Amino acid sequence: MTTRSNTMNGAESLVQTLIDSGIDVCFSNPGTSEMHFVAALDKIAGMRCVLGLFEGVVTGAADGYYRMSDKPAVTLLHLGPGLGNGLANLHNAKKAASAVVNIIGEHATYHVEHDAPLTADIEGIAKPVSHWVKTSRSAKDVAADGAAAVAASITYPGQVASLILPANTAWEAAGQPAPPLTPPAPKEVPTDRISAIAAVLRSGESTAFIMTGHTLRAEPLAIASRIAQATNATLLAQTSNARLERGAGRVPINSVPYPVDAAVKVLADYKHLICIGAKPPVAFFAYPDKPSCLWAEDCTPHILAHPDEDGMLALQALADELNVSDRKPVIQSPSPPPLPAHGPLDVSSIAAIVGHLIPENAIVVDEGITASRNMPQATAGAAPHDWLQICGGSIGIGFPLATGAAVACPNRKVVALQADGSGMYTLQALWTQARENLDITTILLSNRAYAILKHELKNVGADAGTIATDMMELNRPDLDWVSMARGMGVEAGLATDTNSLIRELKAGLASEGPYLIEAVF
What number is the average pLDDT over the span 189-207?
Answer: 98
Partner residues linked to 244 by β-bridges: 387
Continuous segment of H or E residues that includes residue 28: strand 25-28
Q: Same domain for 114 and 204?
A: no
Residue 26's SS3 state is strand
From 322, 357, 380, give the residue that closes a domain: 322
Question: Would residue 208 count as lying in a domain?
Answer: yes
Rounded CA separation 133/124 (Å): 9
Length of the chain: 521
Please report, for residues 258, 376, 434, 436, the alpha-carbon distance to residue 51 in angstroms, rounded to integers and kept in the order given.
34, 33, 11, 9
- Residue 472: per-residue pLDDT: 86
With residues binned 3-state (H G I as helix, E B as strand, rest as coil), the percentages for the chain, rounded to 5, are 40, 20, 40
Structural domain count, the chain: 3
Cβ neighbours of residue 308 closer than 8 Å, sequence gap 6 or more: 156, 157, 186, 187
One domain, residues 369 and 441:
yes
The mean pLDDT of 135-155, rounded to a whole number, is: 98
Alpha carbon distance 153, 321 (integer Å): 33
Q: Does a cis peptide bond (omega within 30 degrees of 0) precede residue 307?
A: no
Percent of the chain surpassing pLDDT 90? 93
> Are residues 404 and 313 part of one domain?
no
Q: Quickly count helices (H) and strands (E) in the chain.
A: 21, 18
Beta strands in 88-196 (DSSP E): 100-106, 132-135, 160-166
> What's the average model confidence in pLDDT over 88-98?
98
Q: What is the CA radius of gyration of the chain?
A: 24
H or E element that contains 377: helix 375-379
**Tell me, what amino acid is at 363?**
I
- Residue 330 forms part of a structural domain: no
- Per the CB < 8 A criterion, the answer to whether 446 and 518 are in contact is yes
> What is the rounded average pLDDT of the residues 271-292?
97
pLDDT at 3: 45
Angle between helices 139-153 and 10-20 (to 10 degrees): 30
Between vectors from CA 338 to CA 337 and to CA 344, what angle results, nearest 5°? 105
User: Could you tell me if residue 185 is inside a domain?
Assistant: no
Contact 171, 112 (CB under 8 A): no
219 within some domain? yes
Count Cβ atoms below 10 Å from residue 165 Cβ, excluding itself. 27
3-state secondary structure string, 41-82? HHHCCCCEEEECCCHHHHHHHHHHHHHHHCCCEEEEECHHHH
Average pLDDT over residues 183-208: 97
Task: Could you list the beta-strand ranges (E) of 207-318.
Answer: 207-211, 234-237, 244-246, 254-255, 272-276, 300-305
Cβ atoms of 247 and 384 within 8 Å: the answer is yes
Average pLDDT over residues 152-179: 98
pLDDT of residue 6: 60
Beta bridge partners, 344, equal 497
Walk across the sheet containing 440-446 and list its strands: 244-246, 385-389, 362-367, 414-419, 440-446, 515-520, 491-495
Dist CA 152 CA 159 (whole Å): 7
Residue 449 sits in the same domain as residue 477 = yes
pLDDT in the model for residue 2: 45
Average pLDDT, the chain: 96
SS3 330: coil
Name the amino acid, one letter, at 291: P
473 occurs within a structural domain: yes
Residue 382: strand, helix, or coil: coil
Residue 473 DSSP code: B
Residues 318 and 378 in one domain: no
Is the residue at 342 inside a domain? no
Q: Is residue 341 part of a domain?
A: no
Going by pLDDT thresholds of 50, 70 and 90, the confidence category of residue 1 is very low
460: helix, strand or coil = coil
Last residue in a domain, options 136, 171, 206: 171
The domain that holds 25 is classified in CATH as 3.40.50.970
> Do 386 and 482 belong together in one domain?
yes
Cα 328 versus chain centre, distance? 31
Peptide bond into 157 cis (omega under 30): yes
214 and 145, same structural domain?
Answer: no
For residue 459, the cross-strand partners are none
Q: Which domain holds residue 316?
A: 191-322
Q: What is the pLDDT of residues 406-460, one digit of tens each?
A: 999 999 999 999 999 999 999 999 999 999 999 999 999 999 888 787 778 777 7
**Residue 35: band (very low, low, confident or very high) from pLDDT cuts 50, 70, 90:** very high
**418 with 355, same domain?**
yes
Which pairing describes strands 234-237 and 254-255: parallel, antiparallel, or unpaired?
Answer: parallel
- Confidence class for position 70, pLDDT limits 50, 70, 90: very high
- Average pLDDT, integer, range 211-223: 98
Tens-digit pLDDT profile for residues 324-374:
989 999 999 999 999 999 999 999 999 999 999 999 999 999 999 999 999
pLDDT of residue 71: 98
273 and 141, same structural domain?
Answer: no
**The pLDDT of residue 465:** 83
Residues 163, 28 share a domain: yes
**pLDDT tens per residue across span 46-66:** 999 999 999 999 999 999 999
From 138, 171, 204, the end of a domain falls on 171
Q: Looking at the structure, do residues 427 and 464 belong to the same domain, yes or no? A: yes
- Is the domain of 423 the same as that of 315? no
Whether 334 is covered by a domain: the verdict is no
Using CB atoms within 10 Å of the CB of residue 87, give its burial: 0 to 12 exposed, 13 to 18 middle, 19+ buried. Answer: middle
CA 8 to chain centre: 36
